[in-house]
Structure 1
Amino acid sequence: MRKTPLILMAAALPMAVNAANTEFSYGGYIKFDAMYSQYSDGDMTAASGGRDFYIPSTIPTSNNTAEETSSVDFNARSSRFNFKTDTSLDNGQNISTFVEMDFLLTGDGNEVVSNSYNPRLRHAFIKTGNLLVGQTWSTFMNVDALPETVDFLGVSDGTVFARQSQVRYTNGGLQVALENPETTVVGVGATDDSGIPDIVARYNFKAGKNAFTVAAIGRQLAIQDGVKGGVDESTMGFGINVSGKIALGQDDLKFSYTTGQVARYVGLASAADAMRDADGDLQATDVSAAFIGYRHFWNDQLRSTIAYSMLDADYDSDNVADTTEASSVRLNLMYSPVAKLTYGVELSKATHKLDNDAEGDLTRLHFTTKYAF
């Protein structure tokens, strides 16, 4: 009987030795959001992610046939938790890991009794030396260029935004990555039929307090039905992104411009990557997306950001009933009485238009309280 504890201790010894060379840390934040939203052309369903944060494609549209509606939403679903390890190896190298979760966009849970929601995976990656493998921000995306907004993302229609599995190599300011491919097709949705990974090259550079990024991407857009004699089409897509932050004293100006056949990478995939023409050939969607945001510090505790963002999609044919335009403007006031605690209020106005001329507007007043730890 007494041998069991000794055996367990012996089994745990290697783990204890490894732990002696490993630093563990955790972080995240608690965020409460309260929103009053008005929709010009119909109701946004309670299950829509657009009730939690701004997703351009979820704004209801009509040809002036739907009535104006409104909704009030309280939630804490964007609260997140992360866990990190750093391990020093005997050969002098370092291995780090990072895992993060929040509760947005999960299907389970409701607001009737308990508001219970499943966690979702945001990041899970391993980094050693110049190599990163796992799921994290796409190399095509510049997180540091995002303006400060009360909304979870704010400039959704104008920014590159994607997290996905990848293999990334970094050498100074240069980054090269192979990333998980995906294609969205009008009337079909996501196909997951690409035969090669998305290839991204990016270069980051600084000039004083200013920071800039230039990125390029090449990708295969594909669709197949798996049936002999069925649809098996592909085409190539390319895109570029230029983004950065310009310091203006204590204030800052952030911007981004993206163009090419990169529809799923911008606007939270509001526009489809491609469509099939009359001959069944796959035709890529050309998109342009941009945002600009200016942040002004009134004092050490009080600041405001005004931001504008837009998306324009051009399909090979007309009247495909998919997003062709989206734009938004927002103004906020953020107050941090102590470090890591922020209260914020934001007023935003957004427009969503389909290429069959159906359109709709969203007006939202958004309050938040956030504590980072």
Structure 2
Amino acid sequence: MNQKMLSFKLNRLVIACACSFPIMSFAASTTDAEIQQLRDEVKALKLLMQQYAQQQQSNQQSLQQIQASTTKINTENTPALKVEGTRLKTKAGAELTFYGNVRADASYQSEGGSAARLYNQINTVPLTGNNESSDRLKASLAATRLGLDFKTATSGKDINAKLEVDFLGTNDALRIRHAYMNYGNWLIGQTWSNFAVPDYMPETIDALGYVGGAVKRTPQVRYSHKFSPITNVVLAAEDAKDESSNMRLPALTARLNHQLNERVQLSARAMGTEKKTDTDAEMAWGVGLGAKWDVTDKTMIKADYYHVKGDSSFVSWSNQGFVTNANKDIIARNEFDSITLGITQQFSPQLRGTLGYGYMKADQNDAYINALTDKTKANKDLWQAWANLFYSPIKPISLGLEYVYGEREAFAPAPNGSQTGTDNRVNAVAMYNF
């Protein structure tokens, strides 16, 4: 109903009433027609007010019905995942962050490994003249990654968890990279080994890294303790996933991290684990030392060193950790040193590059070497050198190009006399991070 019309009628009635009193007091000439007109106007005004009240009541009832219907829909269709502002929440109330990347890798292999997968195979590249795999173009999207981070607030400390997968399993099958929960100083689940950490490896395009470094994720129980803002220790019991050994006890690892100053970080690590066959058992051990140095705001140097005896599961590309006789007695263990060193330069906000070098050398243990069935498949030493550039035209996109050259020297020559195999490749990658 038009409120302006109602206001106009009321004002007119008030004026009429005000004027009628003097007329009634001082003159009796008011006609019956004028009185009837005033009555008609009052009656019309009452009708208008009744219609306006009925319309308001109808509108209110409609609004209540809409609100009740909306509430019912929201109650019956509450999703397991909902958005609150800019945060996602699970049905149980945990805050959720979804991340990952779409990654396309390509490699032109001048010389290298025979396996279909394009990533590093330096320890198994064919010796020269022996079924070499040359002039091959390989491509894959198997390193595409999906991840979820969870956080639940409690009366004490927050509970955090992570689940991250890629497609680098057998035949590009989905595999678990990280799956763990973290409460206070404790972590339970699978993540980077406490001994073989990738933090000190120079940057590469190759998803597995190069010789001298380690890319190892293990199921573990981990405890961290902070001595000061710049020093902490991490202790862990890990399943090393060593197929050559029957695990009876977990591997024990320890890592001491120290921030020397604003630009230098150091990490000292130790590992001890039992190697067991059906009839015998021996201890394997290792130590590691890593360093990161921010020379300037745009220049970083990384270095990592390992010395390991009796184990091949933690540090990548090494020979088998031990050899056995016919009775499955452990008769000798492999021992090796490895190092990787690299410098990364940030040329601009969009462009950076890395030069890197990695080397691994096995001890000349005659008992170990003589027990090998095929000495051409075990390596006296390995090395690789690489150079890459990464360019990000816009923030979520990263493009990379890399050249790598490396060699392996076997303990014994092949029938044609060759004792050296070569890895010679150009790698490229395109990533969309989300």
| TM-score between both structures, scaled by the size of structure 2 | 0.71
- What is residue 100 of structure 1 aligned with on the other side? 164
CA contact (8 A) 1:198 1:220 kept: yes
Equivalence for 1:162: 216
CA 1:317 to 1:248, structure 2 compared with 1: closer, same or farther past 3 Å?
A: same
1:295 counterpart = 2:350: no
User: CA offset at residue 55 of structure 1?
Assistant: 2.8
Q: Which residue of 1 aligns with 2:114?
A: 44
Please give the per-residue CA displacement for 1:158-189, whole angstroms capped at 9, x wherever unaligned: 01321110000001211000001444xxxxxx
Identity, in percent, stands at 25
Pairwise CA distance, 1:337: 1.7
CA distance 1:351–1:92, shift in 2 (3 Å): same
Q: Are positions 1:33 and 2:105 aligned together?
A: yes
SS of corresponding position for 1:158? coil
CA distance in 1, matches of 2:115, 2:208: 20
1:344 aligns with 2:409: no
CA-CA distance at 1:100 after TM superposition: 0.7
Q: Secondary structure at the match of 1:263?
A: coil
Unpaired runs of 5+ in structure 2? 1-71, 83-88, 227-231, 414-418
1:195 aligns with 248
SS at match of 1:153: coil
In structure 2, the CA distance between the partners of 1:237 and 1:68, relative to structure 1 (3 Å rule), is: closer
Shift of the 92–65 alpha-carbon distance from structure 1 to 2, 3 Å rule, reads: closer
Residue number in structure 2 paired with 1:72? 137
Over residues 57-94 of structure 1, what are the superposed CA-to-partner deviations in whole Å (9 max), with x where a residue is unaligned?
232235x44456221012111110011110012x2221
Say if 2:136 is the partner of 1:87: no
Q: CA RMSD in A?
A: 2.6
Measure, in 2, the Cα distance between the counterparts of 1:293 and 1:317: 32
Q: Structure 1: which 5+ residue stretches go unaligned?
A: 1-5, 108-116, 184-189, 225-231
Please list every run of at least 4 consecutive aligned residues from structure 1 whose deviation after the TM superposition is greater than 6 angstroms.
Answer: 12-18
Determine helix, strand or coil for the equivalent of 1:317: helix
Asked whether the equivalents of residues 191 and 217 of structure 2 are also in contact (C-alpha less than 8 Å), the reply is yes
When residues 129 and 353 of structure 1 are mapped into structure 2, their CA distance, relative to the original with a 3 A threshold, is same
Amino acid at match of 1:214: A
The structure 1 residue matched to 2:378, chosen from 277, 302, 323, is 323
Cα distance between partner residues in 2 of 1:351 and 1:36: 17
Whose RCO is larger (CA < 8 A, sep 6+)?
A: 1
Classify the secondary structure of the residue corresponding to 1:44.
Answer: coil
In structure 2, the residue matched to 1:227 is none
CA, structure 1 residues 149+160, in 2 after alignment: closer, same or farther (shift >3 Å)? Answer: closer
- The equivalent position to 2:302 in structure 1, one of 243, 251, 254, is 254
- Residue deviations 1:4-55 (CA, integer Å, cap 9, x gap): xx9xx89x99999984742011111111111100226xx6133xxxx32113
> How many angstroms apart in 1 are the aligned matches of 2:165 and 2:195?
22
Is contact 2:103-2:431 (8 Å) kept?
Answer: yes
1:334 to 390, 400, 408: 390
Query: Which residue of the other structure, out of 233, 238, 254, is the alignment partner of 1:179?
Result: 238
Residue matched to 2:15:
none
Higher mean Cα deviation, 337-346 or 274-283? 274-283
TM-score (normalised: structure 1): 0.82
Contact 1:352 1:359 in 2 (8 A): yes
Alignment size in residue pairs:
333
1:359 aligns with 2:429: no
Structure 1 residues 212-232: Cα deviation after superposition (integer angstroms, max 9, x where no partner): 1110011111111xxxxxxx1
In the alignment, which residue of structure 2 is the partner of 1:146?
201
Aligned equivalents of 2:80, 2:404: Cα separation in 1:
55
Amino acid at match of 2:119: F
* Structure 2 CA distance for aligned equivalents of residues 328 and 337 of structure 1: 29
Higher strand share: 1
**Is 2:333–2:368's contact at 8 Å kept on the other side of the alignment?**
no
Q: Quick one: structure 1 residues 20 and 292, their matched pair in 2 at CA, closer, same or farther if it must change by over 3 Å?
A: same
Within the alignment, does 1:372 sit opposite 2:427 as a pair? Answer: no
Following TM superposition, by how much is the alpha carbon of 1:204 offset from its aligned partner in structure 2, in angstroms? 0.8
